[in-house]
Amino acid sequence: MNTPLETQAQILAELWLDYRDEEYFAEFFGYADLGLPLSYLLANNIVTRNTETDKFVTDTWQLFLNLCGHEEDTGFEDLADVIANLDIEE
């Protein structure tokens, strides 16, 4: 079971807003400088989904899952589920 794209965008948007000062994610934030804000825009219905936006979000999502130590997308519901095993302050 994979996480729906809408949920991926919501989780990435929350990450972008709430953890932008977290050192653990600094390199990832630098690399995903388009995918994270785009996820925020999609999650808040500011831009319209299309094949290009979907690709940015899914690529960013896969990188994020890898960073968090997940080998596959098992269907996440929220940010807390994805980062549960990380040693960071929430």
In the Cβ-directed half-sphere of 81, how many Cα atoms lie within 13 Å?
12
pLDDT tens, residue by residue, 10-57: 999 999 999 999 999 999 999 999 999 999 999 999 999 999 999 999
CB 65 within 8 A of CB 73: yes
Q: Decide which of 86 and 68 is more confident.
A: 68
Q: What pLDDT does 30 receive?
A: 95
pTM of the model: 0.93
Helices (H), the chain: 5-18, 26-31, 35-43, 51-67, 79-83
Q: Reply yes or no on whether the pLDDT at 4 is more than 90.
A: yes
CB 64 within 8 A of CB 32: yes
Across residues 48-69, what is the average pLDDT? Answer: 96
Domain ranges of the chain: 5-83
Q: What pLDDT does 86 receive?
A: 87
